[in-house]
Amino acid sequence: MTDRPIRSLADIEAIEREMPWDERAPAHSTYALLEGSAARFPDRPAIHFLPNGRADDVPVILSYAALFARVTQTANLFHDLGIRPGKAVSYLLPNLPQTHFVIWGGQAAGIVNAINPLLDAGHIAEILAAADSRVLVTMAPEAAPDLWRKVEAVRAMLPRLDTVLVIGGKADPARGILAFDDEVARRPADRLVSGRRIEPDEICAYFHTGGTTGAPKLARHTHRGEVYEAWVMSTVVGMTMADTLLLGLPLFHVNAVMVTGLAPFLVGAATVMLSPSGYRHPDVIPQFWRVVERYRATSFSGVPTIYAALLNVPIGDADVSSLRFAICGAAPMPVELFRRFEAATGIRILEGYGMTEGTCASSVNPFAGERRVGSIGLRYPYQPMKTVKLKADGSHDRDCAVDEIGVVTFSGPNAFPGYVQDKHNKAAFVAPGWVNSGDLGRQDADGYFWLTGRAKDLIIRGGHNIDPQMIEEVLHRHPAVALAAAVGRPDVYAGEVPVAYVEFRPGLTADPEDLRRFARENIFEPPAAPAEVIPIAPMPVTAVGKIFKPTLRHDATRRVYDASLHPLREQGWRVTVTVAAHDLYGTLATVALAGSGDRGAAGAEVARLLGGYAIRHEVCFT
């Protein structure tokens, strides 16, 4: 650890000069990290599990000693089931204490493979097959009947999946079904029966990425990368054993696993698990401030939609003075939402940036220094990060100048070693060890990074990655559609939502609402269903005939901004909105107002009406 507060890029560089990362690393593996914490903080609570996410829940409490014992037993169970270094055990679970046993026990035995339970059976089977996983941990049929139906369908597709461990139900050994808790209890807790010595560069986890639609890619994580993330996340915010973090994001995602998992576990802090379904549980958001009060919570992590939802829950007389900060990631946070939340709650938000291919996070606004609202802050120590221009083949051409927009790329201990499927790896790196984020951004003179757009096409709806290709493929099945293109449209609540543009075949047409229903009925992930289908003729294309999506994104932004400004028209103003690329902001909306009213009041009204969107705007009068 380091006691040096990070206020600027100079502080980051000073930490790096003190000693190399390998000398500073607190452990050589995640298992060794947990072992060290169990030795230092044996009786301190590591986990408070709230079954319903309510302040008056009777919590299940696990000490650090108990957590490490269960992790060791779980690792020994997996070893007995054939999990070895290089072999993966998969989990399909909500947020339970047992989920932590599986994650860290799986890494101690071999590799753990996280799967989103909201995916359909076909996608779950694809991920299991890609991981070559023969052991799955999930919920028993009586505990989660809908999930179990998916598991049964998956087992029919994958005969090699020969062992299923279930939580909350009975074993059926004849069908390869074992009771997880019973099996764990029978294993020794005082040692790894494998006798394994885990090296830092060994693969410890797979996390699927590429969105919830489209073919999944499995990103490989190393023990070195996860230990680094635990250290750096706790270091940049000054986390100690006096902290208590609320866990509401799902444990199949790197954010929850690292930010409110391994990072607090490193320093002996406590975590409060807000129900098996996290923020999705209907009682969690209404009860949030009371939970903060009861557990004297000091921080939590969320996506912009969570902050928007919390704004609708008055703090009232709840004492939330214990909160030191909150972290926002996974999707850009609208500046107006940022300001409204801080003004209403007094809670300091640290906006950061990361991706699965970077183990979790790569930058954050400094807790002890200047926060620049709208930026993703300063890079982490030991993790070089820069914007670059690329050659036609996707390789590095040159580094960008200050404030010049380019592709964000990074290197360091958290940079993943590649995907399980080698076919994806060429596009993943701009140079050896340098990850291509797929995001566009700029770095200012003080080292702060600002995202300006995405080189990749993913739509991020409230932190939920959506591959536009799936939307497009469905719409292309409609007999009237010649071309279809899906893009993100700005949204105050979700950051952006998918919309689709279609060009009809000659002589054919279709009602846009019918097309939207057609898409909704045929897209298996509800968040990916387009909010609107917009006919267009002709579809904008490049010189080589590829659909030019920036034009569609600009049009989608123009439409939503134009509609949002309707109250100004009712006041007598003539309103024109244009949206275009911008050298500094990536995209800028220009609102032209014509009329004889109070210009100051009109400008303030534009700021109020558009302030909840992430894309910048400017006002001019004609």
Write out the H or E segment, with its range, that includes residue 581: strand 574-582
Look at residues 411, 439, 467 and tell me which one is the last residue of a structural domain: 439
Both 153 and 193 in one domain: the answer is yes
The one-letter amino acid at 500: A
Cβ atoms < 10 Å from Cβ of 402: 11
For residue 582, what pLDDT is reported? Answer: 84
Cα dihedral sign for 466, 468, 472, 475?
Answer: positive
Judge whether residue 161 has pLDDT over 80. yes
Cβ atoms < 10 Å from Cβ of 23: 7
In a domain, 538, yes or no: yes
Is residue 1 very low, low, confident or very high in pLDDT (cuts 50, 70, 90)? low
Write out the H or E segment, with its range, that includes residue 276: none
Q: What angle do CA 582, 588, 591 make, to 5 degrees?
A: 135
In a domain, 448, yes or no: no
For residue 212, what pLDDT is reported? Answer: 41
Structure-token pair, residue 350: 């640290």
Mark residue 268 as left, alpha or beta (left: phi above 0; alpha: psi -120 to 50; beta: remaining): left
Both 344 and 262 in one domain: the answer is yes
In a domain, 447, yes or no: no
Q: Average the pLDDT over 138-165 and give the result.
A: 96
Structure-token pair, residue 217: 């890619």
Residue with the larger pLDDT of the pair 548 and 334: 548
Query: Across the chain, what does the average pLDDT equal?
Result: 92
**225 contact partners, CB below 8 Å, separation of at least 6:** 359, 413, 414, 415, 416
Q: What angle do CA 208, 212, 218 make, to 5 degrees?
A: 15
Both 573 and 514 in one domain: the answer is no
Both 371 and 503 in one domain: the answer is no
- 21: domain range? 9-439
The one-letter amino acid at 20: P
Both 371 and 483 in one domain: the answer is no
Please provide residue 205's backbone torsions phi and psi, each rounded to the nearest 5 degrees: -155, 155
pLDDT in tens, 578-622: 999 887 888 999 999 999 999 999 999 999 999 889 899 999 998
Kindly report whether the peptide bond that precedes residue 538 is cis, defined as omega within 30 degrees of 0: yes
Question: Any idea which residue has 């596009």 for tokens?
Answer: 427
Both 296 and 167 in one domain: the answer is yes
DSSP 53-68: S-TTS--EEEEHHHHH
For residue 543, what pLDDT is reported? Answer: 57
In a domain, 348, yes or no: yes
For residue 2, what pLDDT is reported? Answer: 62
pLDDT in tens, 63-84: 999 999 999 999 999 999 999 9
pLDDT in tens, 433-450: 999 998 889 999 999 999
Both 477 and 425 in one domain: the answer is no
Look at residues 550, 577, 596 and tell me which one is the last residue of a structural domain: 550
Judge whether residue 451 has pLDDT over 50. yes
In a domain, 450, yes or no: no
Both 293 and 253 in one domain: the answer is yes
Structure-token pair, residue 292: 């903060």
The one-letter amino acid at 561: Y
In a domain, 558, yes or no: no
User: How many domains are there within the chain?
Assistant: 3
132: domain CATH number is: 3.40.50.12780
517: domain CATH number is: 3.30.300.30
For residue 213, what pLDDT is reported? Answer: 42
In a domain, 418, yes or no: yes
Both 522 and 613 in one domain: the answer is no
In a domain, 17, yes or no: yes
Strand 434-443 vs strand 406-410: parallel, antiparallel, or unpaired? antiparallel
Residue with the larger pLDDT of the pair 372 and 189: 189
Both 208 and 318 in one domain: the answer is yes
Residue with the larger pLDDT of the pair 305 and 168: 168
pLDDT in tens, 543-561: 556 688 889 999 999 999 9
Q: Give the global pTM.
A: 0.82
For residue 459, what pLDDT is reported? Answer: 87
Listed range (198-207, 306-315, 506-515) with the worst mean pLDDT: 306-315
Is residue 211 very low, low, confident or very high in pLDDT (cuts 50, 70, 90)? very low
For residue 457, what pLDDT is reported? Answer: 74
Q: Average the pLDDT over 383-392 and give the result.
A: 94
Is residue 273 very low, low, confident or very high in pLDDT (cuts 50, 70, 90)? very high
The one-letter amino acid at 586: G
Kindly report whether the peptide bond that precedes residue 526 is cis, defined as omega within 30 degrees of 0: no
Question: Which of the 8 DSSP states describes residue 27?
Answer: -
For residue 26, what pLDDT is reported? Answer: 97
Both 468 and 430 in one domain: the answer is no
Is residue 462 very low, low, confident or very high in pLDDT (cuts 50, 70, 90)? confident
Judge whether residue 405 has pLDDT over 70. yes
Both 332 and 392 in one domain: the answer is yes
